[in-house]
Amino acid sequence: MTSSSSRSTAPATGGHLDLAARLLRLTEEAMAVEPDIRRRRQEMWTLIAAHERLWHLRHADADLPPDDALVEAATASS
């Protein structure tokens, strides 16, 4: 019998990322029917973070500057 706490440490593959994207879309649909606007707004930040993480996983090979560098560049150009 295997323990339920064992997890795979293999990197996410295209199939896993596609499944994650579909789950995010289902989450968006579930949030859309939430009647409490305050709760929906709070959950939106979590959903945004999940989409951002998925994007980073899909573009892991991209040569992107860290978030701090993006903030510094944006404030320097203002």
Q: What is the pTM of this model?
A: 0.57
Give the pLDDT band of residue 71 (cuts 50, 70, 90).
Answer: low
Identify the pLDDT of residue 4. Answer: 44
SS3 track for 5-33: CCCCCCCCCHHHHHHHHHHHHHHHHHHHC
DSSP string covering 35-67, please? Answer: S-HHHHHHHHHHHHHHHHHHHHHHTTTS----H
pLDDT per position as a tens digit, 2-59: 444 444 445 667 789 999 999 999 989 988 888 898 988 888 889 999 999 999 888 8
Annotated domain spans of the chain? 27-60
